[in-house]
Amino acid sequence: MNIPARPVIEPALNRSETCSAMASAMLDAIAAAWEGDDSAARECMETAGQAGADGIRETIDSGISPLNSEVTVNGGWIYNKVAKKSVYVSGKGFNKPLFDTGALYNALDYETEGE
């Protein structure tokens, strides 16, 4: 379908700012757990998860390469190899890869489990 790969999650989590924020929160969680403060440990792990989700959103906001194709932005006819026919696609009107409806962007979340 001529859709280029746009890896975003792993590179975003590997950014130094994101790694530092997550590592700091996890170290705080370890210290709190060591002291027996389970509530504070869980809160610190929540902070680490939020830092990761925020880091991914920041990466998307900063722009992901490659840019969208002309037909993705403005719409037009493409050949659907699966259906073996030409189909019209409406453009999204702007050139921001990985951000159309906001479904991916807004779905970024984290979960902490266990005691």
Residues 21-45 pLDDT 10s: 999 999 999 999 999 999 999 999 9
- Per-residue model confidence (pLDDT) at position 51: 96
CB of 93 within 8 A of CB of 111? no
Residue 39 covered by a domain: yes
Do 24 and 59 sit in the same domain of this protein?
yes
* Cα–chain center distance at 19: 15
Do 59 and 86 sit in the same domain of this protein?
no
48-107 pLDDT per residue, tens: 999 999 999 998 888 777 777 888 888 899 888 888 999 898 888 877 767 766 777 788
- Per-residue model confidence (pLDDT) at position 1: 55
Do 16 and 34 sit in the same domain of this protein?
yes
Nearest to 59 by CA among 92, 14, 107, 109: 14
Provide the whole-model pTM.
Answer: 0.69
Residue 99 covered by a domain: no
Do 23 and 57 sit in the same domain of this protein?
yes
At 56, give phi and psi (nearest 5°): -65, -45
Range of the domain at 14: 6-63
Do 12 and 48 sit in the same domain of this protein?
yes
Residue 106 covered by a domain: no
Tell me the pLDDT band of 111, cut-offs 50, 70 and 90.
confident
Query: What ranges in 8-102 are assigned the alpha helix state H?
Result: 9-13, 16-34, 38-62, 70-74
CB of 35 within 8 A of CB of 96? no
Residue 104 covered by a domain: no
Residue 33 covered by a domain: yes
Do 46 and 71 sit in the same domain of this protein?
no
